[in-house]
Structure 1
Amino acid sequence: MFIDSISKTISQKMLDASIISIEDKDIYYYGLQLIVSTIVKGMGLLIIALLFDKVVEALIFIGAFGLLRINAGGFHLDTYFKCFVVTSAFMMLCIWIGNMIPLSIAPYIIICCLAMTALFILLYAPVDNPNRPLNGKEYKKFRVRSLYIMYFFAITIILVCFIKTELYKYMCIASLSILFEGITLLPVWKR
């Protein structure tokens, strides 16, 4: 409700100030919802990370998950609060697992995560948002972007692991983060 309230207030003030037209109010309202929810969620995730002294790990999770999420889409929960709780829980789970994986099996875990995510993207990306379905041109654009981002992550993560093995835990977290995003693409989440 907090996010909706802020978005409605700002879009109404923009309309009152003749910055936007009445026809565009819903578009701006939706855009503001996305911006405000992203800021609130990001701040909340960083506060949790600060409490657990895991800021670097959280930034890796947010960056990896977020960059792929923006382009590949995925399952959406019905409230911002539920989304925040689930994302927070999975962020902490990815960080915890990433820190627990022994160096001896880290490359195998990373390769499995990357392979599974690549498969999910090849099969299902992008998944559009029910509030804003993709047209044919947008679908193709976001599909190509999702694949490029996946290739970028795969190459970067593998190179970092070979060049600086002491960073493997961060690469495990990045791999788990994009796997989490890949799981949200699966059709099992459709209602």
Structure 2
Amino acid sequence: MEHLSIVLTNYIFKKGIIDKKNYEIYQYGFQCFLEVSASTICSIVIALLLHMFSECLFFFLLFIPMRSFSGGLHLKTYFSCFIGSCLILTTTLLIVKYLTIPIPISFMLYVFCAIIVLIIGPVDHPNREVDSQENRIFIRRTHFTLLFSFLLAVIFAITRNTRYLFLQAIVFAFICITSFIGHIAYKQS
């Protein structure tokens, strides 16, 4: 992706659309756009192949804000992150597609994982330092997302929506695992 972003940036630079001082900003922007686009397209393809598009959207409704605000394990390269994300999505969707567990167990798994994420708190990555004010904002946003997800879990339990409650439990299990691993890995850094 980095190579393609350089090619695109060189193209608009040579056309005179940007100047030298904005070159790195545009190159970084192109790279981010390409990476997000590739991940999104791959996720949609996975969801369509599994006939689980709505479950994929729900996965991202929970997973993206929680990972953004609570942090966790971050892999060293875009490619490894891309593969890891695709594996987590595919594994989650396959588990939900082929396995059903009772609502009380799903609810307890969700609550247990949410509490662990809450206890661990935001996990800072060594390559991106977060000051105390940013950390407070991340904590508030994590709490808001957890409250929203808890309300969803209660609604799913009341309406006996086994599939989406189980999906939510699996999503939070992965968030819990990546937060815990990130917490351990970055404490040693």
Q: TM (normalized to structure 1)? A: 0.80
Aligned to 2:47: 49
User: Helix, strand or coil: the match of 2:74?
Assistant: coil
Q: Deviations over 1:33-67 (max 9, x none)?
A: 33321221111011112122222222222221112
Q: For residue 170 of structure 2, what is the aligned residue in structure 1?
A: 176
- 1:44 aligned partner, one-letter code: C
- Relative distance call for 1:92 and 1:28 in structure 2 (3 A) is same
Q: Relative to 1, partners in 2 of residues 1:21 and 1:76: Cα closer, same or farther, differing over 3 Å?
A: same
Q: 2: distance between equivalents of 1:173 and 1:188?
A: 26
2:95 paired with 1:97: yes
1:107 and 2:109 correspond: no
Where 1:74 maps in the other structure, the secondary structure is coil
Q: Which residue of 2 aligns with 1:148?
A: 144
User: Once the two structures are superposed, what CA deviation does each residue of 1:86-111 show, in whole Å capped at 9, x if it has no partner?
Assistant: 22222122223224123xx2322232
Whole-Å Cα distance in 1 between the matches of residues 13 and 116 of structure 2?
45
1:4 pairs, out of 2, 5, 20, with 2
CA distance in 1, matches of 2:39, 2:81: 9
Residue 120 (structure 1) shift: 2.0
Distance 2:23 2:132 in 1: 25
Which residue does the alignment assign to 2:157?
A: 161
1:112-123 equivalences under 5 Å are: 112-123=109-120
Stretches of structure 1 lacking an aligned partner (at least 5 in a row): none
Residues 96-131 of structure 1: CA distance to partner in whole angstroms, max 9, x if unpaired?
3224123xx23222322232233223323143461x
Rounded Cα–Cα distance in structure 2 between residues aligned with 1:183 and 1:9: 38
Tell me by how many angstroms 1:149 deviates.
0.6
* Kept in 1: contact 2:39–2:82 (CA 8 A): yes
Give ranges in structure 2 of 5+ residues lacking alignment: none
Structure 1 distance, partners of 2:29, 2:118, is 25
Deviation of 1:150 after TM superposition, in Å, equals 1.1
Shift of 1:21: 6.4
Using the TM superposition, give the Cα deviation of residue 8 of structure 1 relative to its aligned residue in structure 2, in angstroms.
3.0
Shift of 1:80: 1.9
Match of 1:135 in 2: 131
Partner of 1:184: helix, strand, or coil? helix
- Over 3 Å counting, the alpha-carbon distance change for 1:133 and 1:147 in structure 2 is same
Q: TM-score, normalised by structure 2?
A: 0.80
Superposed CA RMSD in Å reads 2.5
